[in-house]
Amino acid sequence: MIQDLRKLLYVEDEPDIRAVAQLALGAVGGFTVELCSSGEEALRRAPEFQPDLILLDVMMPGMDGPTTLRALRAVPALAATPAVFMTAKVQPAEIAHFKSLGALDVIAKPFDPMTLAATVRQIWNQCHG
């Protein structure tokens, strides 16, 4: 039985990108989306929100995406929550590095708002099919 993907935690420091992602994932994709502007905010809000999937920007001030993922993995309720990095750094070696940190996959930025939800679902289904 494949668990349905419903709740996404999206961590992104750029307000414009957060707004586009909210539309792409919430309005277009039909997901419940919790937006966080930093790794620190994600650590505060994720345990209560209990996301099915975490989408993490890689380049953020303070805690970057990989550091945020490590910190989230240390929270027992989130230790097994799948995560996907979102970044402009999508050379094969970079993608391999991000996957070695525990990410399911990497979504290239800038992303297409009309296909972002479908891309997220495809990654989820590949890992849960």
Q: Is residue 46 part of a domain?
A: yes
Q: Which domain holds residue 90?
A: 7-123
Q: Is residue 47 part of a domain?
A: yes
For residue 92, give both structure tokens. Answer: 């094969």
Q: Is residue 17 part of a domain?
A: yes
Q: Is residue 82 part of a domain?
A: yes
d(CA 37, CA 53): 17
Q: Is residue 93 part of a domain?
A: yes
pLDDT tier, 127 (very low <50, low <70, confident <90, very high otherwise): confident
Q: Is residue 35 part of a domain?
A: yes
Number of domains in the chain: 1
- Given this model, what pLDDT does residue 68 score? 98
Mean pLDDT of the chain: 95
**pTM, rounded to two decimals:** 0.95
Per-residue pLDDT, averaged over 82-109, amounts to 96
Q: Is residue 2 part of a domain?
A: no
Per-residue pLDDT, averaged over 72-90, amounts to 96
d(CA 105, CA 89): 13
d(CA 88, CA 85): 10
- The CATH number of residue 12's host domain is 3.40.50.2300
